[in-house]
Structure 1
């Protein structure tokens, strides 16, 4: 019988946790035995308590900490009953020396899979381990990994999307005590200072379409946002919302604004925020970077700031433009659902265990 151990962040506000939860919860829904081996010191948790399957047993890097914990409890890795081991997110782990010591014993009891989120091979030490298979999200990731490790150990399985959850704008605004008579642009996260250069553009749009720029920021970045807080059209809230509350924010908004600096040409990335939020069917406006280069009409891209102004105005005045974007977003989310992606994982499991 297939029993799985998943080494991943869990119930946390980050991309590896989102991925782990989408795959893991679908596997549990299908009746698979799943143990989650998660960090014991994660400071981005979105829930107060975990499911009984979660064992928190190693340390990771934490936001703004100068002292780094390096702890790993080998017990769950060595004593739990599993024959398939899936890991991801090695760039966060501080206790890698301890993991190196126990990995040969993990290999003795289980087939091993590593899910590659890393931008480059040098981003983390995952490539030094002998994995039975490396899962890559698309051809870009496979190209980077296979150059060093070989194609025979690489399998493309796409990153799934959070499912479509529809909501009613008026109701969502009522729950959040937001104005019913203004446009609302939403941004959230902990890199909010990157959005400060956008304020003059948003202020210009505000002159044509009265709006609220709703910014939901991680409380730890509050000292960096004084300039933003001074703007009358900005509503700044300091919280790390649960998924349910985040979707209420999304349903209350006319669009989600994502502004990311691009990465180097040799780096491979995707946007976990897009994978998290596209299913809200709230239009996503984002910089045209490598984070979204695999997407087309599912999101609305801009390259320069005045192009952003044009896109926001089109959203506010052109219902057909918004309708087309939402239709493409819904189609794409359903085509890349957790159910479909886990089907591909099950085929991979079967092939590995048959060897």
Structure 2
């Protein structure tokens, strides 16, 4: 099957992560071309290129407009090549006026992967006709029914990074040695580019626990301001590939995920990318994880956070239970399985 995909790629955002997880599975058995935004145009807060060169099947093939509704250049190979399927990820970030002009020239079946948690008010967006629209869960489906025919909407969950093949004390020690992390300490770990206020609970937690435990809070920041370091807090800067992120997760005892509440429909791409590392995830009870349950540890307030982290540190049975559910979810929604669900959808619409 010859597949084209317009999407962010090799960047620190949920759209890019989704595209990479399914795209790297598709390319194993299909002819895939990714049309990604030019790095000069994709400069918003969400799009930070990771430290990795693009694969040979990736074309920096369109300009991301400054805001929705603005025009931009698209590589003509999108409509001049004979693709079977065109997958579009993150429509609101594409040059929609240009797409409206060129869509009739594209003979491929057109599939939209819907990411945004609120219906854009830009009416021209809804004039693009798709053969199928994919969303992540019933909340998105209910929202989209007001704008698109129900018969073309499908739910395919967000894919998970593969489960770690080996995870044990030897891997933890090796990862810590390679990353220069003390082997004898309890390591709490966070990474990303979230605003610093989303780290306040965890910084408070470390201050509360530092007398009780020999611990270190390691923060890997890809963007933005850095919190001040201390004896118990180490801050590093970088945007490594996920293989390197997984090494940090192997080295950690607990992954503290910073998230604040939002009014939009959302999922946490970070959760789905990290479940398979089989390191316990602690996260606030926010909308990002409202459909998740025993796969992680959710807390209501700071005292609840402190109590649950202490339990995770000292209760091996609780830790094993959390990781058992995390592994089950990650395997049921692996990138390979989700990519195959897309292929089945493509085959279905190609038969129509």
Task: Specify if TM > 0.5.
Answer: yes
Q: Partner residue of 1:88?
A: 89
Q: Partner residue of 1:130?
A: 129
Q: Partner residue of 1:297?
A: 294
Residue 257 of structure 2 is aligned to residue 254 of structure 1 = no
Residue 54 of structure 2 is aligned to residue 50 of structure 1 = yes
Q: Partner residue of 1:179?
A: 182
Report the Cα distance in structure 1 between the residues aligned to 2:193 and 2:121, rounded to whole angstroms. Answer: 21
Q: Partner residue of 1:105?
A: 105
Residue 129 of structure 1 and its aligned partner are, at CA, apart by 1.5
Segments of 5+ residues of structure 1 without an aligned counterpart are: none
CA offset digits 1:206-234 (Å, max 9, x no partner): 2211211100002x413xx3xx3143311
Report the Cα distance in structure 1 between the residues aligned to 2:197 and 2:125, rounded to whole angstroms. Answer: 30
Q: What does residue range 234-313 of structure 1 map to in structure 2 within 5 Å? A: 234-264=233-263, 267-313=264-310
Kindly tell me: are residues 70 and 238 of structure 1, through their superposed partners in 2, closer, same or farther at Cα, counting changes over 3 Å? farther
Q: Which has the higher helix share?
A: 1
CA offset digits 1:285-331 (Å, max 9, x no partner): 00111111111100110011111111111111111110111111111
State whether residues 19 and 159 of structure 1, in contact with CA within 8 Å, keep that contact through their aligned partners in structure 2.
yes
Report the Cα distance in structure 2 between the residues aligned to 1:61 and 1:311, rounded to whole angstroms. Answer: 44
* TM-score, reference length from structure 2: 0.91
State whether residues 114 and 134 of structure 1, in contact with CA within 8 Å, keep that contact through their aligned partners in structure 2.
yes
Residue 164 of structure 2 is aligned to residue 161 of structure 1 = no
Residue 348 of structure 1 and its aligned partner are, at CA, apart by 1.1
Residue 44 of structure 1 and its aligned partner are, at CA, apart by 2.0
Report the Cα distance in structure 1 between the residues aligned to 2:58 and 2:191, rounded to whole angstroms. Answer: 27
Kindly tell me: are residues 253 and 204 of structure 1, through their superposed partners in 2, closer, same or farther at Cα, counting changes over 3 Å? same
Report the Cα distance in structure 2 between the residues aligned to 1:196 and 1:4, rounded to whole angstroms. Answer: 40
Among candidates 114, 117, 125, match of residue 116 of structure 1: 114
State whether residues 96 and 125 of structure 2, in contact with CA within 8 Å, keep that contact through their aligned partners in structure 1.
no
Report the Cα distance in structure 2 between the residues aligned to 1:115 and 1:97, rounded to whole angstroms. Answer: 19
Q: What does residue range 207-218 of structure 1 map to in structure 2 within 5 Å? A: 207-218=211-222
Report the Cα distance in structure 1 between the residues aligned to 2:162 and 2:73, rounded to whole angstroms. Answer: 34
Report the Cα distance in structure 2 between the residues aligned to 1:70 and 1:182, rounded to whole angstroms. Answer: 53
Segments of 5+ residues of structure 2 without an aligned counterpart are: none
Q: Partner residue of 2:23?
A: 24
Q: Partner residue of 1:194?
A: 197
Residue 347 of structure 1 and its aligned partner are, at CA, apart by 2.0
Report the Cα distance in structure 2 between the residues aligned to 1:313 and 1:277, rounded to whole angstroms. Answer: 21
Q: Partner residue of 1:349?
A: 346
* Aligned residues: CA RMSD: 2.0
Kindly tell me: are residues 121 and 176 of structure 1, through their superposed partners in 2, closer, same or farther at Cα, counting changes over 3 Å? same
Among candidates 166, 170, 175, match of residue 173 of structure 2: 170
* TM-score, reference length from structure 1: 0.90
Report the Cα distance in structure 1 between the residues aligned to 2:185 and 2:179, rounded to whole angstroms. Answer: 14
Count matched residues.
Answer: 338
Structure 1 moving runs of 4+ over 4 Å: 123-126
Report the Cα distance in structure 2 between the residues aligned to 1:70 and 1:118, rounded to whole angstroms. Answer: 20
Report the Cα distance in structure 2 between the residues aligned to 1:261 and 1:128, rounded to whole angstroms. Answer: 34
Residue 13 of structure 1 and its aligned partner are, at CA, apart by 1.7
CA offset digits 1:185-211 (Å, max 9, x no partner): 111111140334222222101221121
Report the Cα distance in structure 2 between the residues aligned to 1:308 and 1:331, rounded to whole angstroms. Answer: 24
Report the Cα distance in structure 1 between the residues aligned to 2:248 and 2:298, rounded to whole angstroms. Answer: 21
